[in-house]
Amino acid sequence: MTTPLARALRTVRANIVPFSAAYPGDCTVAGSYQVRALPGHANGANVGWTTGFWPGMLWLAYELEGDEAYKTAGLRELERFAVRIDGLSDVETHDLGFLYTLSAAAPWRNVPEMRAEARRVALAAADHLMTRFLEPVGIIQAWGNLGDPSQCGRTIIDSLMNLPLLRWASGVTGDRRY
């Protein structure tokens, strides 16, 4: 009998090639993930808050099995997420923790030879996330224009998913502002 973990790892492995140049959609269609299709974006674009889940699965699989195929695919994701944060593409969101803890902090932990680049990318995301931190109330603004007082202070429970990225950044740099 196959364990659920073995089935999950098989699924991740089977999707390395299909998702090597495109991201999966948010939901399954007929039981499988298709290439992401969002209006106004190229198919498979690295946009939205769920694209970080794919590198997260790759790094979890690598940690469990140590297979170089997962590592290679995960490092490709680090490059793709570096492009996203360096170009400030679709990063005006409170979801940077979802995206960069999985795509950049995970390879920092797992691949010593890529530690400098992974650190750079993850810290760039943490720094950008801090632009949404509203110090007087101690929250990360979830969405909305930061300069619009009528939108100021919006927060949701999902904002807590940013805390692992900020905690990692604080631990790596010693900077308590994170």
Catalytic (active-site) positions: 95, 158
DSSP 157: G
DSSP 125: H
Q: Are 107 and 78 in contact (CB under 8 A)?
A: yes
Task: Look at residue 138 and give its three-state secondary structure.
Answer: coil
DSSP 111: -
First to last CA, the chain: 46
Pair of tokens at residue 61: 């699989």
Burial 68-93 (b: 16+ CB within 10 A, else e): eebbebbbbbbebbbebbeeeebbeb
Would the CA dihedral through 125, 127, 128, 134 be positive or negative? positive
Pair of tokens at residue 136: 């007087």
